[in-house]
């Protein structure tokens, strides 16, 4: 899933195509805010009118749940989904805190409120996280593109997030082989792309919408059926914490989850010792004992993850715990995900808990392992406890 630059038979690379598109759009004033469009999914003049284009598609009429990327040129399409009273799912930015959020407009939302919900700010203000345990069935996927061919070959901005998101949805059963993929671009972004530039992880598209036409690609190339772990590095696993939770699940199912830098032909000396140490800690057994945490205070920053010392104690905040959840359920989940703390403070009435770890590295591993976790159907909020402070210590549970 990670960006690797391939070169086609004519010597052209994906980056050559990207820069040609970006340069052309800027030079011909086809780009719209934000500018310059380089290193972005480019917004183009007239992109908001694509809401009418998607509404005219038969595949849109029959879709119930629609996943739309958060890119600016897709804002009109996100609005069209909300106006049609369909379920709108939007990926979290750079997959930092999970896979995607469900946008829930307030009751009786006006057209102006719906329009705000379709913006990046609205996605933050009117969304709830969707955990890996959620039963999601996406009928239609809308992705942004830098370039696309009439055959359905697609090139993104080079970071691989759209490919990764689809692969993760495939892994959790949220999409099927016949799930329709649509992209919306300016006409100048429809170009020839050599097929040899595509890798097994690359997502192809079934429909291309432009300001002047709708193209059915008829693409038969198989879409990703899940995460290709042999193309994932430990570095990516750290950048996208939810991947670690997904990897653990697939490992429990007996699937091959060996990473790129764990392949037999990669010398052990090439693997950073810190990562190997973190991996061994993540796989260490059970709770070692639990007592209550000292209440956090401005002078006790090491307990809330603010110390720069890697060996300083650190705390993980767990929020959004469902009403009625027992502390034993959280303990079981922590053991299952190899994220057992040295101490646990339970604030059931406030729907939160604090997990204490010996050092920040262990806390980081716990945050990564618990991303996407749900208890009693409620996706947990898990993060280093920088701002959430335990106001009073409870007895050990």
Whether a cis peptide bond, with omega within 30° of 0, leads into 382 is: no
The residue ranges of DSSP E strands in 185-330, in sequence order, are: 207-209, 214-216, 314-319
Categorize the per-residue pLDDT at 171 as very low, low, confident or very high, splitting at 50, 70 and 90: confident
Q: Does residue 105 register a pLDDT over 90?
A: yes
Q: Which of 8-17, 60-69, 242-251 has the weakest average pLDDT?
A: 8-17
| Residues whose CB falls within 8 Å of the CB of residue 220, separated by 6 or more in sequence, listed in order | none
* Per-residue pLDDT, 98: 65
CA distance 281 to 274: 11
CA distance 300 to 314: 11
Categorize the per-residue pLDDT at 386 as very low, low, confident or very high, splitting at 50, 70 and 90: low
Strands, sheet with 343-347, edge to edge from the N-terminal-most edge strand: 343-347, 352-357, 314-319, 381-384
| Number of Cα atoms under 13 Å in the Cβ half of residue 333 | 25
CATH code that applies to domain 14-216: 3.40.50.10420
Listed in sequence order, the DSSP H helices in the chain are 14-27, 50-55, 58-61, 75-83, 111-117, 120-125, 161-171, 234-239, 242-252, 273-282, 327-336, 360-370
Categorize the per-residue pLDDT at 316 as very low, low, confident or very high, splitting at 50, 70 and 90: very high
CA distance 267 to 261: 9
Locate tokens 């720069």: which residue?
A: 308
Q: Does residue 148 register a pLDDT over 90?
A: yes
Query: What residue spans define the domains of the chain?
Result: 14-216, 230-271, 301-384
Tell me which CATH homologous superfamily contains domain 301-384: RRM (RNA recognition motif) domain (3.30.70.330)
Average of pLDDT values for 374-385? Answer: 85
CA distance 254 to 216: 38
CA distance 199 to 344: 45
Query: In Å, how far from its chain's centre is CA 300?
Result: 33
Categorize the per-residue pLDDT at 48 as very low, low, confident or very high, splitting at 50, 70 and 90: very high
| Residues whose CB falls within 8 Å of the CB of residue 369, separated by 6 or more in sequence, listed in order | 241, 244, 245, 248, 282, 337, 338, 339
Q: Does residue 280 register a pLDDT over 70?
A: no
* Per-residue pLDDT, 369: 82
In the DSSP assignment, the letter for residue 114 is H
Percentage of the chain with pLDDT > 90? Answer: 43
pTM recorded for the entire structure: 0.65
* Per-residue pLDDT, 184: 97
CA distance 64 to 51: 16
CA distance 72 to 79: 12
In the DSSP assignment, the letter for residue 223 is P
Strand partners, 379: 374
Length of the chain: 397
The average confidence (pLDDT) of the chain is 81
pLDDT tens string 282-299: 333 333 333 333 333 333
Q: Which of 192-196, 235-239, 309-313, 349-353 has the weakest average pLDDT?
A: 309-313
261 is written with which tokens? 């830098």
| Residues whose CB falls within 8 Å of the CB of residue 345, separated by 6 or more in sequence, listed in order | 292, 293, 353, 354, 356, 390, 393, 394, 397
* Per-residue pLDDT, 10: 61
Q: Does residue 377 register a pLDDT over 50?
A: yes
65 is written with which tokens? 């749940």
Categorize the per-residue pLDDT at 33 as very low, low, confident or very high, splitting at 50, 70 and 90: very high
Q: In 3D, which of 221, 68, 209 has the Cα closest to residue 153?
A: 221
Categorize the per-residue pLDDT at 25 as very low, low, confident or very high, splitting at 50, 70 and 90: very high
Radius of gyration of the chain (CA): 23
* Per-residue pLDDT, 96: 64
Q: Which of 179-193, 349-363, 367-381 has the weakest average pLDDT?
A: 367-381
* Per-residue pLDDT, 236: 83
Q: Does residue 333 register a pLDDT over 90?
A: no
* Higher pLDDT pick, 296 / 141: 141
* Per-residue pLDDT, 158: 85
Q: Does residue 265 register a pLDDT over 70?
A: no
Q: Which of 43-52, 148-157, 160-169, 233-242 has the weakest average pLDDT?
A: 233-242
283 is written with which tokens? 């796989």
282 is written with which tokens? 């993540």
Q: Does residue 118 register a pLDDT over 60?
A: yes
Q: Does residue 8 register a pLDDT over 80?
A: no
* Per-residue pLDDT, 132: 75
* Per-residue pLDDT, 76: 96
Average of pLDDT values for 77-102? Answer: 86
Average of pLDDT values for 375-396? Answer: 63
* Per-residue pLDDT, 97: 63
Categorize the per-residue pLDDT at 94 as very low, low, confident or very high, splitting at 50, 70 and 90: low
- Residue 339, CA distances (Å) to 294, 332, 356, 378 in order: 20, 10, 11, 19
């Amino acid at each position: 899933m990670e960006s690797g630059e391939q070169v086609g038979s004519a010597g052209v690379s994906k980056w050559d195509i990207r820069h040609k598109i970006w340069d052309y759009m800027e030079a011909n004033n086809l780009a719209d805010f934000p500018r310059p469009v380089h290193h972005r999914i480019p917004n183009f003049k007239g992109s908001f009118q694509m809401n009418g284009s998607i509404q005219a598609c038969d595949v849109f009429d029959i879709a119930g749940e629609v996943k739309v990327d958060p890119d600016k040129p897709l804002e009109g399409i996100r609005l069209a989904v909300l106006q049609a009273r369909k379920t709108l799912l939007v990926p979290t930015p750079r997959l930092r805190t999970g896979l995607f959020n469900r946008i829930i407009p307030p009751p009786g939302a006006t057209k102006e409120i719906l329009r705000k919900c379709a913006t990046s700010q609205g996605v933050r203000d009117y969304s709830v996280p969707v955990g890996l345990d959620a039963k999601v069935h996406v009928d239609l996927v809308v992705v942004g593109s830098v370039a696309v061919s009439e055959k359905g070959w697609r090139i993104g901005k080079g970071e691989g997030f759209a490919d990764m998101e689809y692969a993760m949805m495939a892994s959790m059963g949220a999409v099927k082989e016949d799930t329709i993929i649509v992209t919306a671009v300016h006409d100048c972004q429809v170009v020839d792309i050599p097929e040899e530039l595509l890798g097994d992880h690359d997502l192809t598209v079934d429909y291309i919408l432009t300001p002047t036409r709708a193209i059915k690609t008829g693409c038969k190339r198989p879409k990703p059926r899940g995460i290709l772990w042999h193309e994932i590095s430990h570095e990516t696993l750290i950048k996208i914490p939810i991947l670690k939770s997904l990897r653990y699940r697939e490992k429990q199912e007996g699937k091959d989850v060996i990473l790129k830098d764990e392949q037999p032909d990669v010398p052990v000396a090439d693997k950073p010792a810190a990562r190997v140490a973190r991996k061994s800690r993540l796989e260490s057994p059970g709770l070692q004992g639990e007592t209550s945490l000292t209440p956090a205070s401005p002078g006790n920053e090491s307990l809330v993850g603010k110390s720069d010392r890697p060996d300083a104690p650190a705390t993980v905040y767990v929020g959004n715990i469902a009403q009625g959840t027992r502390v034993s359920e959280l303990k079981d989940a922590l053991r299952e995900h190899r994220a057992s703390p040295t101490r646990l403070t339970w604030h059931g009435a406030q729907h939160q808990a604090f997990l204490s770890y010996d050092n920040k590295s262990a806390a980081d591993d716990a945050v990564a392992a618990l991303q996407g976790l749900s208890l009693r159907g409620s996706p947990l909020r898990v993060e280093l406890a920088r701002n959430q402070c335990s106001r009073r210590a409870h007895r050990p549970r």
